[in-house]
Amino acid sequence: MSQTTAPILSILTFFPLAACLILPFIKNEKTIRFFTLTVGIVEILLALPLFRFDLTQPGYQFVEKLNWIPQWGLTYYLGMDGISLLMVLLTILLLPLCVMCSWTYISKRIKEFHFSLLMMTSACIGVFVSLDLVLFYIFWEAMLVPMFLLIAVWGGPERRYASVKFFLYTLAGSTMLLVAIIALYKAGGTFSIPDLTAQTFPFRFQFWVFLAMALAFAIKVPMFPFHTWLPAAHVEAPTAGSVLLASILLKMGAYGFLRFCLPITPDASVYFAPMMIAISVTSILYGGFVALGQKDMKKLIAYSSVAHMGFVTLGIFLFTIKGFEGALMVMLNHGITTGALFMLVGAIYERSHSREITKNMGLGKYLPAYMFFFGLFALSSLGFPGTNSFVGEMLVLIGVFKSSPWLGAVVIPGVMMGTAYMLRLGQKLAWGEPTQAKSWHDLNLREWGYLVPLAILVFYIGLAPGLTLKAIDPTLNRVLERFTDKSKQTVVAVVTPTQKSNVVGLSSLPR
Amino acid sequence: MKFDDISLLLPELVQILIILGLFVQTLMKSETGATTDIGVRWVPWAAAVGIIVSAYSLKTSGSLFWDAYQMDGLSQFFKMAVALGFTIATLNAVNTPTVKNEQRTDYFLFFALSSLGLMLLASSVELITIYISLEIASYSLYAIIPLRGNDPRAAEAGIKYILFGAAATAIALFGLSYILASQNTTYLHILATKSWSWSAAPMAVVGLTLFMVGFFFKLALFPFHFWCPDVYDGTSNETAAFAATLPKLGAVVILIRLVALLKPEIEIVSIMAVLSAASMTFGNLAALAQKDVKRILGYSSVAHAGYVLVGLVAASAAGLSAAGFYSLIYLLMNLTCFWVICSLSRDGKNLLLDDLNGLYQRAPYLAFILAVGAFALVGLPPTAGFIGKLFLLTAAWNRGYNWLIIIAALNTAISIYYYLNIVRHAYTHEAEENIQFEEPRRYSSIWGGVLAASLLVLGVMPEPVFRWMEAAARQIIP
């Protein structure tokens, strides 16, 4: 499992942070943008050794472990499995794209802006590769400050309200996560995630720990009653902020469920699954309904995020391999698609200085290339076959129907609403009565530059999801296996090895 | 006391030399009132020598004066912390605008005397010695709190501090008499062998509780906090920076020694747990409504007194070391915030939140330093505030007061609002156009940067410092 070569994960995590330190010494604004872009591209190159990732291995790879504060059992412990691989790659890919989409959008305090972007990237990668709970928590919280600044400094007119709301919500949630971490340490004797996963805790303990952790993750996802910070934050955030928020931050909540709640507190997860499923379905339906009524493009996409993330949590709490795969695919695809949609909204905002749908109509005739991309990502967002989101949503739906057709019947309207609000948006943008679109120029080279990679991914994952699924399957199987192992230990007490093979595999879906 | 024993007292000796130097300098004032040319600029450097000397004598152990005065890990650690705080506080106050030039040497003399008192406090292991050291530390503060030009609020603050302080020390002395009466000794190491439960020695429990009040007052723990925001508000910024940080070290070191007498399940600890919860909740809620930055810090220190007590409530080596470590961090992060306040307020006025508007444009480095200080006070990673809090909460978990941990964690969420407000004003509000600002001095950005950097470094690598504190705590509670 462990590698003796260069500490690739540490390099990936701390390279953007190190680049931050050079930033204050650059005077010229344009140089700053080029510098950050270069950092982003170098980061992608640095990530190339990740291709040595062994797809058949379910365990953690590229593991790094150092003593940090031995008195308290704290270790500097990094590692990567299939789940974190995809998330890390997504984060790394988005850094240069975010720089490019902010090239003209951000015109004040350039230095601080790129500083925040780089810090964000470091913290996000850190979150996905930490295998020590405290290290995880540090990255988890370290991300708040740059995100807060992104919204509060470069945001829209209501940016102060939105940024404080974002900070308060997420911090309030994570305080209980800290208590849960401390409780786990005292009960399990270690902060190391793999070691804690291997232990079995009494149900009463799991009950409280699950609740404490779920609160933090549910706020981050965000799930229905805790979602109100999201539309505010999205609407006010600058494009890059929205992209990072939608594509990476929201995924951390779902990642937390997969990484912590399920493996460490399996019995409590089963116990609370009906509640979590109910909340997820509510999120799907509620997000869809509210998105239908929005006039602001960003708000619409924000509420659609609530609905999409509902699919993720729904998939997770079905406890089937299809559900897990679906959840992870939706996570990844939502990151790609919604990120791209926010970039597109940002691009049109630079032309019209408005995010109102009515102010941006009739683009089909005057900005065909823009409309092509918008249509593509809108179709992807509603889960059109052949695009990436279809794979994820389909897998979740298969999982749902397998476990309960009635539940499936409740979710289906959510999918249909997704079609309704996205088509309505797309139709108005493309064929609505043009108000001021005549004088606008179509996409320039830079805008093509950041949209094309995402568009390629839309088709690649949509048409050939095999490689992606291959990367996550072993890990997800391990989660499921351990999970069923553990939850049966307390319920049935015996698990035969043959049972494991029943849940493996994805034979029914064409790859 | 043999002459060799003098080597046990090196940190105190350096401090006494500084005091003597300042004393001689005050006598040398010319008729016109102008001080000698060197002024007080040499004091921070001399104090820095004090840090080195106390770091050198970290491993000193021994006892003097019929065992009333003991050098152990704990005392040496805190002496170094006091020397560090004294250095920063004097460096901060070198150009204080509210104290006249000819008064500066006296002003620093009182700083130095108070610090000496705190150093003595760190080594006192006998109740009457503790009491006397406490008085040495307090009296010099009583004298400098009202020193702020002709500001009547400073006089008010001074009177408040003296009255509250006198009442608190009187109560402490009264408690001391009860302890002496029921346990028949004032030596801590003998007291440690006695029982402190209500059923066995009710009078001693009452006495110890009252004795602790004197230190709760210094720590500004609810309900002994009333002086705190008013004194910070009234006194000059530089004095507030001193009064807000160093005396707390003294209070924490004595509380650590007293708590070492106790076991977690007995009554006094329960009282402390309740006070801790009340203090952090009250402090944070009250701070939400403040507009003056120093008042915010005042209430925040009420809340932090509650946090430190969490470690004491744990009453284990881990808990005590966490409390000691946190008090050092607290010193640093509060001094960082006060440093920025003092650097910005060139005329010595109080800063309102609105005065911070647009700070990122006027003084980007100071804005960053302030942000680091504020986020450290919240306990946000990767600052030292987080790691200190993590140690505190971890140490206290499963010691019978889990509800306290949950309250402490929830309090973080309350407190974020007002700390964030500070950062928000500094970073997102634009300054009003017509206001002229003075450029901050260059050295204030540099030294402030050092402070902020120390917070970040301690947050990532607390181990070397923490190791000392842990060893010290293990000497007291094995």
- Which of B371, B412, B424 has the CB atom closest to A175's CB atom? B412
A168 touches chain B (CB under 8 A): yes
Q: Min CA distance, A242 vs chain B (Å)?
A: 18
Could you tell me where the beta strands, DSSP code E, fall in A87-232? none
Given a cut of 80, whether residue B255 has pLDDT beyond it is: yes
Torsion angle (degrees, nearest 10) of CA A76, A82, A86, A89: 50
Residue A25 has what pLDDT?
Answer: 85
Contact in structure between A467 and A51 (CB atoms under 8 Å):
no
What percent of chain A clears pLDDT 90, i.e. is strictly above it? 11
B412 touches chain A (CB under 8 A): yes
Chains A, B: CB pairs < 8 Å: 82
The pair phi, psi for residue B187, each rounded to 5°, is -80, 130
Q: Looking at the DSSP assignment, which residues form a beta bridge with residue B63?
A: B70
Given a cut of 80, whether residue B434 has pLDDT beyond it is: no
Residue B9 has what pLDDT?
Answer: 83
Residue B174 has what pLDDT?
Answer: 92
pLDDT in tens, B114-148: 999 999 998 888 888 999 898 888 888 888 888 88
How far is B326 from B466, CA to CA, in rounded Å?
Answer: 10
Quick one: pLDDT band at residue B67, thresholds 50, 70, 90? Answer: confident
| Least confident segment among A423-427, B134-138, B191-195, B298-302 | B191-195
B5 touches chain A (CB under 8 A): no
Q: Min CA distance, A171 vs chain B (Å)?
A: 6
Residue B425 has what pLDDT?
Answer: 86
| Least confident segment among A113-117, B3-7, B359-363, B467-471 | B3-7
What percent of chain B clears pLDDT 70, i.e. is strictly above it? 95
The mean per-residue pLDDT over the stretch A78-82 comes to 86
**Collapsing DSSP states into helix, strand and coil, what is residue A356?**
strand
Please report, for residues A53, A82, A145, A216, B175, the alpha-carbon distance to residue A91 in angstroms, rounded to integers and kept in the order given: 17, 15, 18, 21, 61
The 3-state secondary structure of chain B, one letter per residue: CCHHHHHHHHHHHHHHHHHHHHHHHHHCCCCCCCCCCCCCCHHHHHHHHHHHHHHHHHHCCEEECCCCEEECHHHHHHHHHHHHHHHHHHHHHCCCCCCCHHHHHHHHHHHHHHHHHHHHHHHECEHHHHHHHHHHHHHHHHHHCCCECECHHHHHHHHHHHHHHHHHHHHHHHHHHHHHHHHCCCEHHHHCCCCCCCCCCHHHHHHHHHHHHHHHHHHCCCCCCCHHHHHHHHCCHHHHHHHHHHHHHHHHHHHHHHHCCCCCCCHHHHHHHHHHHHHHHHHHHHHHCCCEHHHHHHHHHHHHHHHHHHHHHHCCHHHHHHHHHHHHHHHHHHHHHHHHHHHHCCCCCCCEHHHHCCHHHHCHHHHHHHHHHHHHHHCCCCCHHHHHHHHHHHHHCCCCCHHHHHHHHHHHHHHHHHHHHHHHHHHCCCCCCCCCCCCCCHHHHHHHHHHHHHHHHHHHCCHHHHHHHHHHHHHHCC
CB-based contact A152 B375, cutoff 8 Å: no
Q: Looking at the DSSP assignment, which residues form a beta bridge with residue A66?
A: A76
How far is A408 from A420, CA to CA, in rounded Å?
Answer: 19
**Collapsing DSSP states into helix, strand and coil, what is residue A28?**
coil
B289 touches chain A (CB under 8 A): no
The mean per-residue pLDDT over the stretch A243-248 comes to 90
Contact in structure between B356 and A148 (CB atoms under 8 Å):
no
Mutate which: B372, B378, B420, vs A, most A CBs within 10 A: B420
pLDDT in tens, B197-242: 777 788 888 888 888 888 898 888 888 888 888 888 888 888 888 8
The mean per-residue pLDDT over the stretch A135-142 comes to 90
Nearest to B302 by CA among B417, B225, B396: B225
Residue B192 has what pLDDT?
Answer: 78
CB-based contact A138 B398, cutoff 8 Å: no
Q: Which ipTM was obtained for this model?
A: 0.86
Given a cut of 60, whether residue A323 has pLDDT beyond it is: yes
The mean per-residue pLDDT over the stretch B354-366 comes to 82
DSSP A40-62: HHHHHHHTGGGGG--TT--S-EE
| Least confident segment among A3-7, B47-51, B122-126 | A3-7
Query: What is the biggest distance separating any 2 CA atoms in chain A, rounded to whole angstroms?
Result: 71
**Collapsing DSSP states into helix, strand and coil, what is residue A411?**
helix
Residue A24 has what pLDDT?
Answer: 81
pLDDT in tens, A332-359: 999 999 999 999 998 888 888 888 888 8
Which residue on chain A is closest to B425 by alpha carbon? A160
Given a cut of 60, whether residue A144 has pLDDT beyond it is: yes
Amino acid at B18: I
Given a cut of 70, whether residue A188 has pLDDT beyond it is: yes
Domain boundaries, given as residue ranges, for chain B: 3-476
B409 touches chain A (CB under 8 A): yes
- Which of B382, B393, B424 has the CB atom closest to A152's CB atom? B424
Quick one: pLDDT band at residue B38, thresholds 50, 70, 90? Answer: low
Amino acid at B185: T
Nearest to A142 by CA among A116, A177, A111: A116
Given a cut of 70, whether residue A233 has pLDDT beyond it is: yes
CB-based contact B380 A145, cutoff 8 Å: yes
Query: What is the biggest distance separating any 2 CA atoms in chain B, rounded to whole angstroms?
Result: 70
CB-based contact A164 B417, cutoff 8 Å: yes
How far is A372 from A365, CA to CA, in rounded Å?
Answer: 11
Nearest to B244 by CA among B303, B185, B317, B183: B303
Given a cut of 80, whether residue B416 has pLDDT beyond it is: yes
Residue environment code for A342-374, b if the CB has 16+ CB neighbours within 10 A, otherwise e? bbbbbbbbebbeebebebbbbbbebbeebbbbb
Token pair 């006010």 in the structure block, residue? A236
Quick one: pLDDT band at residue B281, thresholds 50, 70, 90? Answer: very high
Half-sphere exposure (CA, 13 Å, Cβ side) for B396? 32
Quick one: pLDDT band at residue A487, thresholds 50, 70, 90? Answer: low
Residue B278 has what pLDDT?
Answer: 92
B159 touches chain A (CB under 8 A): no
Which residue on chain A is closest to B464 by alpha carbon? A69
The pair phi, psi for residue B87, each rounded to 5°, is -60, -50
Residues of A within 8 A of B468 (CB-CB) are: none
Mutate which: B463, B465, B467, B468, vs A, most A CBs within 10 A: B463
A71 touches chain B (CB under 8 A): yes
The more confidently predicted of residues A80 and B195 is A80
Q: Taking the CA atoms of chain B, what radius of gyration do you get in angstroms?
A: 21
How far is A313 from A217, CA to CA, in rounded Å?
Answer: 10
Residue A502 has what pLDDT?
Answer: 41
Contact in structure between A162 and A233 (CB atoms under 8 Å):
yes
Quick one: pLDDT band at residue B307, thresholds 50, 70, 90? Answer: very high
Residue A1 has what pLDDT?
Answer: 44
Q: Across all residues in chain B, what is the average pLDDT?
A: 85
Given a cut of 70, whether residue A5 has pLDDT beyond it is: no
Residue B5 has what pLDDT?
Answer: 76
Q: Which of the 8 DSSP states describes residue A353?
A: S
Give me the count of residues in chain A: 511
When mean pLDDT is compared over B140-149, B186-195, B296-305, the highest value belongs to B296-305
Quick one: pLDDT band at residue B33, thresholds 50, 70, 90? Answer: low
A112 touches chain B (CB under 8 A): yes
Q: Min CA distance, B414 vs chain A (Å)?
A: 8
Please report, for residues A178, B392, B414, the alpha-carbon distance to residue A173 in angstroms, rounded to integers and kept in the order given: 9, 20, 12
The 3-state secondary structure of B111-145, one letter per residue: HHHHHHHHHHHHHECEHHHHHHHHHHHHHHHHHHC
Residue environment code for A126-158, b if the CB has 16+ CB neighbours within 10 A, otherwise e? bbbbbbbbbbbbbbbbbbbbbbbbbbbbbbeee
CB-based contact A186 B410, cutoff 8 Å: no
Residues of A within 8 A of B393 (CB-CB) are: 178-179, 182
Nearest to B301 by CA among B322, B320, B326, B324: B326
Please report, for residues A97, A144, A239, A450, A509, the alpha-carbon distance to residue A100 in angstroms, rounded to integers and kept in the order given: 5, 23, 11, 7, 37
B381 touches chain A (CB under 8 A): yes
